[in-house]
Structure 1
């Protein structure tokens, strides 16, 4: 039991200690600067003194390219049982895993995870870290008697505090805090709901010094603390032996600077409901390094070169007129306007035009070289961006795929983070879902229909999560169907193999069709074997049975040859 439990002063001091660590590593300033450079405010705070302030958003191009290269639209989560669950009925295991996999798909749609993951990766690229927080909202209408569903949202890295700042592994933390800015009325309503002291909730300022948050009034900081509590439980095995097993559960409480909103309670969870993702990890710190942080100096150099070129162009790149002030009182730039020249003599000597200075072409070449080199070092090559001319489609695709290889490490880390999210979803299902209807796909008809399922089975059924990442942009369903069709036409695969590998939804009642084909093949095979065994010579051509073509049915060819040749079959 933590010493800070239900003590708002100690809890707030613990929270401030975590914020102090962030200030010491310069997280708040880094995030603010990175965000400004990403959205285009690259001259903010700079005294330009009348100089031009141009900028080319190279950083945004690179970040968006990396997001597109790392993230795929078709991400599918599939549940599969641990190998140690072989003692259970396999058909029931398959049914359960199909239900969980179907629920994953529904949650992905409900939480708009495709859009959410883009923001998730963007935060990691720009801020250094990204965080997803999931919880069960009991007020969500589900269209059935069972209410509530799982919600996932983005949390800024500046509002997440780890109990051990030297370890980035979420599930190894002694405790984790998540802070959010709430409207006073909402915070007081929540405190009243959980018998908290609503009168002690007062307005305060944002501890992260967020500019936009501090502009809004009538808010306070509400912190949710999670911690892992260990306990011992006696369990009995199949032969009657009793042993003590050390287990853990996730506890939580909610507080502000001066009061407890919700006292400590057991969430029922086994996992912290948080996923954490960093692009580049820093040893001995849970905060990572943002991609933009290392590129800001490059962006500043590009902006300075552009500013100097623009200044040179505006001051010396255009022709200048010089005139004799004793002969011309005032120069007139109007189109067709007359200019009065005093005195006689040649008027050509009264005024002249100075040709503009030329800028060395090497300056432009260096700027382009600098920009291209920065993009190239981060994988945003012309081929990867689709800017290269497609003289050879295969070569272009090969170049694009080769340029995406450096992102594989980051992509793997992202998929691991999504797997962690899947485990959290299962943990929340286990605790909160109970009995409810869920959409299940009928394998024989291909039609989805609601079916009742008791999610408490997850308490006694260990499942693993396998992340099935969908096809990238190079391989679509259309390409898959075309390739399978070519293989079938050329006789490289059988019809059953073709149907089995078609994407779902292409052919209705696909499984029923596969079953009928298999039954027809089996019936034909059985009829042939029964006819030979019963002495039906009409099935044998003159000259013996050795000339009968043997069907290429897997697993039965040797048996058929033995029967047709008259050999003794043991």
Structure 2
């Protein structure tokens, strides 16, 4: 049995751990978010009367966007395979290989429902900026998985992304989920939603009324996470905490509470794995928090902004000459408008430049611009971005060398790609565990030859199967696609493949309405084949019966000839 206060104490222990990290975890994460969003002068002290401009040359956003785009792929897929390729019959009368194929098809269906390609990019952005990302899974019994076609089947697996700042590990010195004694998933929801959920779990309305809004949002992500609606009664928000724990029998239990009220007490989920997939951008020793890409870029980004600000300030102050004049001769000042005359008293023999003149500004040293360019160049190189990797090369001639440079530049991203692959494998393991626990016998979506169909399947047998989960998340750039197109073009020109084989293998996006074009060509080829077959049949019939090709007049002429002449004519027709 758990109570709200004990769960809240676990949450406070996690908050205290984060605050004791050096640098302070919450400050570090908020600074990274601000820098990515372009709020790069926040917290930098300037005099109130300072005219120094505050330019933002946001290299951080460009770097993060480039790396995420390079790492995420549009061909995301989780692969299941049995450890033992047995062909023996299982419960459903199928081999474990056949069962695995069916489960693979359903996982593909779930990933499409989750919009997993978009979610992977979102998680990649989160981890690149804050160091961490998390996917939280739960089984929603109110959802019909296939709509009206589900019949009496209810319940579907739901995935949500949670900010890494809202995940508390029971052992914060370990970055793996399964060894954890407990894991907290924290968030904020409206009081109205929390009260409804509590009543659905069997709480009376009076007890649910004890759930009230609070201001416990100081540890939410970013400045925007700490701004909420005020004075909206039940539509105010309150902190909630999911507390997952591993039971003595090895299964996972879950409880949910606010700081003061239990929404539901510990429930045995019967899951074998925590329904939490944890992702670090770069793993760090002895802490479950990862190191973000942004953290190392911040000092140089600030320096570049300051240098650009001082260059701008110099231009503002001294780019144009200043007028100086003799106040005794020009007591009303100088009219500097175009074409205006200037009245001077008692000019006498004094030179004009002693009455009014211009102060020429000093020239800024070109070394400043050169130094800034050099620093920006080093900044890009140390971050792992070269001109070749971003395609900043005009008319590249040696494309093979260009691709080799690009691949060499991406080598440091291998560790990050491995972390993402591990994250996706954890997602696959969680899905198998939840399907085997909650689905029972239900229809399964099979996709064969582009068509989907439903087949009944007993998912509970997954709990006793030994499956290997694999996933590859790697670099996806235009250069790799260009290489494919060049290779296909060479094969087509060499006659090793035909145009249809070329078109079917061209990456999507390079040919508008590619599938429609393929269908049209296939239809045209089919019509041509039918015409060729018809001509072939007519030719064969003409060879079998030479008279079949004669017109009515020719047949009349043929019939009027004597037999020996008819034989000669038939011989001539057969020899043609």
Q: SS of the counterpart of 2:444?
A: strand
For structure 1, the residue ranges without an aligned partner over 5 or more in a row are 232-247, 509-570
Distance 1:203 1:63 in 2: 36
d(CA) in 2 for partners of 1:27, 1:113: 29
Asked if structure 2 preserves the Cα contact closer than 8 Å seen for 1:341 and 1:347, the reply is no
The 2-side partners of 1:225 and 1:75 are apart by 31
Are the structure 2 counterparts of residues 283 and 258 from structure 1 closer, same or farther at C-alpha, using a change threshold of 3 Å? same
Residue 110 of structure 1: CA displacement?
Answer: 1.2
SS in structure 2 opposite 1:75?
coil
Q: Distance in 1 between matches of 2:474 and 2:135?
A: 22
Which of 389, 397, 401 aligns to 2:394? It is 389
Q: Give the 3-state SS of the residue equivalent to 2:77 in structure 1.
A: strand
Please give the alpha-carbon distance, in whole angstroms, between the structure 2 residues aligned to 1:391 and 1:110. Answer: 41
Contact 1:74 1:470 in 2 (8 A): no
TM-score normalized with structure 1 length: 0.78
In structure 1, which of residues 406, 412, 428 is the aligned counterpart of residue 412 of structure 2? 406
Whether 1:439 and 2:442 are equivalent positions in the alignment is no
Alignment pair present for 1:179 and 2:179: no
Please list the CA deviations of residues 411-465 of structure 1 after superposition, one character each: whole Å capped at 9, or x if unmatched.
Answer: 01111111111111111111222333333233xx564323222222212222211
1:326 alignment partner in structure 2: 328
Q: 1:502 to 1:73 in 2, by over 3 A?
A: closer
Match for 2:460 among 456, 462, 469? 456
Q: Distance in 2 between matches of 1:62 and 1:471?
A: 15
Q: Distance in 1 between matches of 2:127 and 2:335?
A: 59
Q: CA deviation at 1:282?
A: 1.9
Aligned length: 483
Secondary structure of 2:108's counterpart equals helix
Q: Secondary structure at the match of 2:209?
A: helix
2-structure distance, mates of 1:77, 1:320: 69
State the SS of the aligned residue for 2:54.
Answer: coil
Aligned to 1:37: 35
1:95 maps onto 2:101 in alignment: no
C-alpha change, 1:487 and 1:81, in structure 2 (3 Å) is farther
Shift of 1:490: 6.4
Q: CA deviation at 1:488?
A: 12
Normalized against structure 2, the TM-score is what? 0.77
Equivalent position to 2:242, from 199, 221, 224: 224
- In 1, Cα distance between the equivalents of 2:181 and 2:346? 94
Is 1:465–2:469 an aligned residue pair? yes
Q: State the secondary structure of the residue aligned to 1:30.
A: helix
2:295 is matched with 293
**Matched residue, 2:570:** none
In structure 2, what is the equivalent of residue 375 of structure 1?
Answer: 380
How do 1:282-361 and structure 2 match up within 5 A?
282-329=284-331, 330-345=333-348, 346-361=351-366
Considering only CA atoms, is the larger Rg found in Structure 1 or Structure 2? 2
What's 1:46 paired with? 44
Structure 2 CA distance for partners of 1:136 and 1:312, relative to 1, 3 Å: same
Residue 211 of structure 2: aligned partner: 201
CA–CA distance in structure 2, aligned partners of residues 359 and 501 of structure 1: 56
